[in-house]
A and B are shown apart, each in its own frame.
Chain A
Amino acid sequence: AQTVTQSQPEMSVQEAETVTLSCTYDTSESDYYLFWYKQPPSRQMILVIRQEAYKQQNATENRFSVNFQKAAKSFSLKISDSQLGDAAMYFCAYRSALANNDMRFGAGTRLTVKP
């Protein structure tokens, strides 16, 4: 079974600085999708960014970008120019491209943004 590991339970960053959240996963599959979700105090789960495993180019969404290293099974999230509104729990998730497969989530990283 696929597992997702987020080794940083908590991280903090100064406002306007850059922070990187780590994620590794374990799979024997070659085709899959990776996601980062944000969960602010409102508890709503919000999709931040996604990456297809067959694409070598790293995904970017405004201030959010990923560093996808398929061979190392690593999928880190970089947040540039951090804002107070970025403070939240961040979850890394894996989804197989096989039919009838659910999404596996990491334990999450709590990000604090200091003014």
Chain B
Amino acid sequence: DAGVIQSPRHEVTEMGQEVTLRCKPISGHNSLFWYRQTMMRGLELLIYFNNNVPIDDSGMPEDRFSAKMPNASFSTLKIQPSEPRDSAVYFCASSLGSFYYGYTFGSGTRLTVV
């Protein structure tokens, strides 16, 4: 298995632009999580899905952030419009239904908003 695949690996964009981050979870995993990592706040959960349904989006910072999971093999995290304070590493992770297995993380997308 190729693991959790995220794209792009790096993204540099100008303030005000729309940014879309993509994630392909491991086949068969039915939970998907989006995290944001910064030096100041550490790892923050933004949103997670079970069986493609959003369960908890209380971590989404504001309306500028949105996430979708149209099918079991694809998810997007969109920021519109982007701001410099959105600069961070964004991780996608997936998990089997059993909590024993923990998460498998993607390699992350480093977003820089200038």
A interface residues with partner B (beta carbon < 8 Å): 33, 35, 37, 42-47, 50, 52, 91, 93, 95-97, 100-103, 105-108
A105 touches B102 (CB 8 A): no
Interchain CB contact (< 8 A) of A100 among B43, B50, B103, B104: B50
Give 10 new A-B contacts, CB below 8 A, not counting A45-B103, A100-B56: A33-B100, A33-B102, A43-B110, A45-B91, A46-B105, A52-B100, A100-B55, A103-B45, A103-B102, A106-B42
Instruction: Collect the chain A residues with CB atoms within 8 Å of residue B43's CB.
Output: 91, 105
Instruction: Collect the chain A residues with CB atoms within 8 Å of residue B103's CB.
Output: 45, 47, 103
A102 touches B102 (CB 8 A): no
A102 touches B99 (CB 8 A): no
* Given contacts A33-B100, A50-B100, A102 and B91 within 8 Å (CB-CB): no
B107 lies within 8 A of chain A by Cβ: yes
B interface residues with partner A (beta carbon < 8 Å): 33, 42-43, 45, 48, 50, 55-56, 89, 91, 93, 99-100, 102-105, 107-108, 110
Residue of B nearest to A104 (CB): B45
Instruction: Collect the chain A residues with CB atoms within 8 Å of residue B89's CB.
Output: 43
Residue of B nearest to A108 (CB): B42
Which of B42, B45, B102, B110 has the largest count of A CB atoms less than 10 A from its CB? B102
Instruction: Collect the chain A residues with CB atoms within 8 Å of residue B48's CB.
Output: 102
B108 touches A107 (CB 8 A): no
How far is it, in angstroms, between the C-alpha of A102 and the C-alpha of B43 when the chains are bound? 12
A47 touches B33 (CB 8 A): no
Residue of B nearest to A42 (CB): B107
A97 touches B99 (CB 8 A): yes
How far is it, in angstroms, between the C-alpha of A103 and the C-alpha of B42 when the chains are bound? 13
Instruction: Collect the chain A residues with CB atoms within 8 Å of residue B99's CB.
Output: 33, 95-97, 101
How far is it, in angstroms, between the C-alpha of A50 and the C-alpha of B43 when the chains are bound? 19
* Given contacts A105-B43, A108-B42, A47 and B102 within 8 Å (CB-CB): yes
CB distance from A89 to the nearest CB of B (A): 10
* Given contacts A33-B99, A33-B102, A102 and B50 within 8 Å (CB-CB): no
A102 touches B100 (CB 8 A): no
